[in-house]
Amino acid sequence: MKALSVFRDYKKQGRKITMLTAYDYPTAVLEDRAGIDILLVGDSVGRNILGYASELEVTMEDMLHHVRAVARGAKQAHVMGDMPYRSCDTPALALENARRMMDAGAHSVKIEGEQDMVDRIKYVVDAGVPVCAHIGYTPQTSGKAAVQGKDIDRAKALIDAALQLEKAGADMVVFELIPELLAKEITNLLSIPTIGIGAGRFCDGQVQVYCDILGLSARVFRHAKAYDTLGQRYEDAFAAYAREVTGGTFPTSENAAALPDDVADQVRE
């Protein structure tokens, strides 16, 4: 397992960092084998796996359940647990919940928030839990998805937030939906690595929701790229199975054990 602080060296060496969400054991095993650096158990599990309408519905219990599954599948990769809505309302609550995340198998936690979260992130870091910050568009509090930092006041606020979060002890920061050149500026100002989603080419690493890159999501976002059409392939496979079962072509005799003749005779009696 790589400690979160190790990725500062990647930044120094100009080696890009790969992060992908993972929510379950089999996906964690495959991402780990593929050499992904960081498996993020994101609160995006709510929309992508649990069928919730929003991140705001995701609980600590939901997160812990999925962190445990991912941790069982990760051999090389760093496992990061995403702190859900309301889990960091006070410094003490943030630390208590961060510790639960670590006990479930996470190696670090990610906390959304800017200037308002500096005190809580410092408190968690000072107690020994590695933290990745998350600024820009923050689904737990920002409302409707929109690019952040296109005007100078918001851009300056983001620069200031990033500097304060680094000073508070964050080992990494995620930028979600900020203009490419702003992400580049902040990346150059910081010694901790920056990980972008919809933040352009110049971050120290990238994060994506794995469902989006596999083509499992309902749409392909501008910030994403579908490397496969798994949604369609799943559906086709499910439909083929249904056709064969209803049509009597699956299973065949090959798919079941034969009963020895002598036993068969006795069973028939």
Contact 171, 8 (CB under 8 A): yes
176 is catalytic: yes
Please report whether residue 165 would count as binding ligand KIV according to CB under 6 A.
no
Please report whether residue 196 would count as binding Na ion according to CB under 5 A.
no
Provide DSSP, 57-123. G--HHHHHHHHHHHHHH-SSSEEEEEPPTTTTSSHHHHHHHHHHHHHTT-SEEEEEBSGGGHHHHHH
Please report whether residue 82 would count as binding Na ion according to CB under 5 A.
yes
* Residue with Cβ nearer ligand KIV (155 or 173): 173
Please report whether residue 132 would count as binding ligand KIV according to CB under 6 A.
no
Size of the site for ligand KIV (CB under 6 A): 10
Among 43, 114, 171, 212, binds Na ion (CB under 5 A): 43
| C-alpha dihedral, 174 to 125 to 35 to 213, nearest 10° | -30
**Shortest Å distance, C-beta 244 to ligand KIV:** 36
- Stretch binding ligand KIV (CB under 6 A), from 36-44, 85-93, 160-168, 218-226: 36-44
* Residue with Cβ nearer Na ion (141 or 164): 141
Among 67, 121, 197, 214, binds ligand KIV (CB under 6 A): 197
Could you say which residues in the range 126-185 bind Na ion, by CB under 5 A?
A: none
Among 27, 31, 39, 42, binds ligand KIV (CB under 6 A): 42
For residue 189, give the amino acid letter.
L
Contact 31, 20 (CB under 8 A): yes
Of 136, 134, 157, 140, nearest in space to 148 by CA: 136
Contact 200, 184 (CB under 8 A): yes
| C-alpha dihedral, 210 to 231 to 245 to 248, nearest 10° | -130
**Shortest Å distance, C-beta 87 to Na ion:** 12
Q: Is 43 annotated as a binding residue?
A: yes
Binding site for ligand KIV (CB under 6 A): 21, 42-44, 82, 174, 176, 197, 207, 209
Catalytic residue set: 176
